[in-house]
Structure 1
């Protein structure tokens, strides 16, 4: 059991002062007013976010893809080519060390859990490991070592495009037919059971480019957990899907399948106004990664329209080029402002922009991971962030203004002092408990891989 006293807390009932939160066995037992000298003391207590979209291995590429090649207009597709070259060097040991660093950085940034969109399954050339879930078990091990909550999403990746072309080069490490994927998913489920009770599994058909319509139906029926899929990220993708399937990606998916709150559709930066409102009505979560989407030039999500239509969204770090929860939220809001030439784009009369962004993202992330979190209330998982406010960045501000300062002031991460994941107190005084050893292993891996891809 642990008692946490907060001078102020964003609870299920809104802002409350002098709150004591009692946790036990990974869950919140009670939320009451009062003070106790035996409590862990924090200035500001927030529900922690769930990072709903990550490709952990791509963290090792951060900073290596920012040069321009002979093409005067480098795009997502040229970045993708470099990523495939990088894949040829990664071993299971490398992946485990990289994932541990990523998960540690997520925890220090205020993410208590992660949905790992895991598609690096096989050895170089597509050869199977003796254990078909060898790479998945490395993700599980990294999550256990860091204490982050995990929803593992094994990815079905079948083709190189809507025309069914054979996978080439680095893509071969992803490739599975339905039978091979079923075996991989089953083995991954067994490995996941050695983790704590808040570890879960779902499925992730990669995209309409990589999974044919018949196989999409098969993989959806494989699991009763969450279903995640890339959708409508790039203009070229929209054109390809429309050419081969006769409709734009979002339009096709909503017509072909009963999309409901168990779904999380990633990016969705290329949607029409009608598609935006139709997707909002399904109750599915849109998984946004504003920093990665900016880095790759994906486009701007129709955030204000989607939110006004009752849409649900959460935040992920995708390529992990920069893991920063509060900056993701700021980037999302600023993208809407730039597009519309507006101010405080996501604000509503009763809540500031920062509060709308934060509460929506924590609730949407919890839904996308099928994780009972995203709120400070009895019965919920104890996924919590303790924030210091007595500094030059927050200046002891309160309520929505404190959240706005965290998100838009640019120093929110510096203010995080404590993070709990299902009651595991893994970040103290702003640092993960195993930071030194995890960082050393990661740097050794980077030295082995070299800097030139």
Structure 2
């Protein structure tokens, strides 16, 4: 189950702050059984080489897009935006078969572990064969993702996606969207098939691609079918101003406004991006307890815009972090970009700090909010260094340039704002070490298969 039952850390992030000389016990089920601060290391404990952090949930991933990262950074025409990027991204979606998806996802999941994520929510809409026909096994592409998760040791929340149409006024899918087609019944069949496999560290919810890609009738039917199911429900929403304008024209309401009027936005719902939200919509989401998944590097890369982060924070909204298209794959850099975007917009510093709540550290305030929110986005009642939560952890390498010589109490600040490369010497998931000395297991073999796969894809 694990290298040892007991771990001892010189300091550990517990209950939103650093605590010193912490002894942690891992139960036989791979969950934290006990933790006690201010104790010397007993003989049976493995002494960790640096401060201990909980892993974060990556709450929004399209694994196949890792094959496209860095390959759309050229502009040949007068304008380039989300919609032109999407058309190019579809070229990848039409090429990638299960074996290639497995190689790409395995590389990605290894990178996410090295970047400090120990669970990933896979927003999975690539279901059918390249010609659009269903595979003999409807879960063929899901199995590729499951194998990648098992190979690397990362936890996986698999979210099959409802995807029916090309737009509010386009009732059919485009030809280059043929691999995405699902209805409510197929969606529930995929979800139930994933659950029936009962694989370790795997759970399943569902997702709706967007309001433009699913009919109102299907969204209502799905919400009714999910009554009594506590698993997460994710949806892209209000990412682009064009989407907001189209929704207004088609329905008379903004996207978040429309969704809140038609479903009960409770804690299961996770609104991905929600970039263009009004103050009233923010308050509505917060009152219902729904979560918002922010994807800073992808939103910046695609030119989506900046969300009103200060208002989301003040409203007490459940927030989590995603890497989406995977142009960035380490959470410290995402946190830095999240606050830097607000600094540039507002011309202020440390926008996300909360001294009025006793948390003057920007990094600590964001980290703690995203830790808790990420657990909810993945469907966990407990997440972090707390009894009963899955025993996931990160060990900081204080020899990393950005952390070298930093006072122990400021390690999280320096990790986010002064460290360029991943700085985790060890990563554990469910009581088992999956990254040692900064490298995932079989990282060389995984990288070789990934490189060979990309060579074939882009030949």
Question: TM-score range, shorter-chain basis?
Answer: over 0.9
CA contact (8 A) 1:84 1:169 kept: no
Return the offset for 1:28: 0.8
Q: 1:374 aligns with which of 370, 376, 383?
A: 383
1:156 aligns with 2:159: no
- Within 1, Cα distance between the matches of 2:448 and 2:155? 23
Q: Supply the RMSD in Å over aligned alpha carbons.
A: 1.5
Checking the alignment, whether the CA contact within 8 Å between 1:389 and 1:395 is kept in structure 2 is yes
Distance 2:131 2:276 in 1: 33
Aligned equivalents of 1:125, 1:222: Cα separation in 2 = 30
- 1:396 Cα deviation (Å)? 4.3
Distance 1:246 1:363 in 2: 35
SS at structure 2 position matched to 1:407: helix
What residue in structure 1 maps to residue 444 of structure 2? Answer: 436
Q: Which residue of 2 aligns with 1:65?
A: 72
| Structure 2 CA distance for partners of 1:412 and 1:311, relative to 1, 3 Å | farther
- Secondary structure of 1:329's match? helix
Please tell me whether residue 395 in structure 1 is matched to residue 393 in structure 2: no
Is 2:56 the counterpart of 1:49? yes
* One of 4, 8, 14 as aligned partner of 2:7: 4
Which residue of the other structure, out of 83, 100, 120, is the alignment partner of 2:89?
83
Q: Aligned residue for 2:251? A: 245
Is the counterpart of residue 448 in structure 1 residue 439 in structure 2? no
- Of 212, 216, 233, the residue aligned with 1:213 is 216
What's the CA shift string for 1:55-93, capped at 9, x where partnerless? 0000000111111132x1210000000011222211110
1:300 aligns with 2:300: no
* Superposition misfits of 4+ residues, deviation over 6 angstroms: none
Which whole-Å CA distance do the structure 1 matches of 2:186 and 2:90 have between them?
22
Which residue is equivalent to 2:371?
A: 362
Q: Output the TM-score relative to the length of structure 2.
A: 0.94
1:236 equivalent among 234, 242, 265 = 242
Q: Structure 1, residues 181-218: CA drift from partner, whole Å, max 9, x if none?
A: 33333333333x1x11x311101011100011110122
C-alpha contact (below 8 Å) 2:382/2:388 kept by paired residues: no
Give the 3-state SS of the residue equivalent to 2:131 in structure 1.
helix
CA distance in 2, matches of 1:190, 1:379: 24
Match of 1:170 in 2: 176
Per-residue deviation, residues 341-369 of structure 1 (Å, max 9, x unmatched): 11100101122100011111111100110
Q: How does 1:104-253 map to 2 (within 5 A)?
A: 104-191=110-197, 193=198, 195-196=199-200, 198-223=201-226, 224=229, 225-253=231-259
Extract unaligned runs of 5+ from structure 1.
none
Alignment of 1:239-278 (within 5 A): 239-278=245-284
Show CA shifts across 1:81-123 (max 9, x none). Answer: 0011222211110011111111111101010101000000001
Distance 1:180 1:384 in 2: 36
Q: Deviations over 1:290-321 (max 9, x none)?
A: 00000000010111111011112111110012
The corresponding residue for 2:30 is 26
The structure-2 alpha-carbon separation of the partners of 1:353 and 1:128, relative to structure 1 and needing over 3 Å to count, comes to same
- Give the conservation status (yes or no) of the 8 Å contact 2:59–2:293: yes
Aligned partners of 1:82, 1:281: CA distance in 2, in Å? 38
Q: CA deviation at 1:373?
A: 4.4
What SS is found at the alignment partner of 1:15?
A: strand
Return 5+ residue gaps in structure 2 as ranges: none
Judge conservation of contact 2:12–2:52 (CA < 8 Å) in 1.
yes
What SS does structure 1 have at the residue aligned with 2:20?
Answer: strand
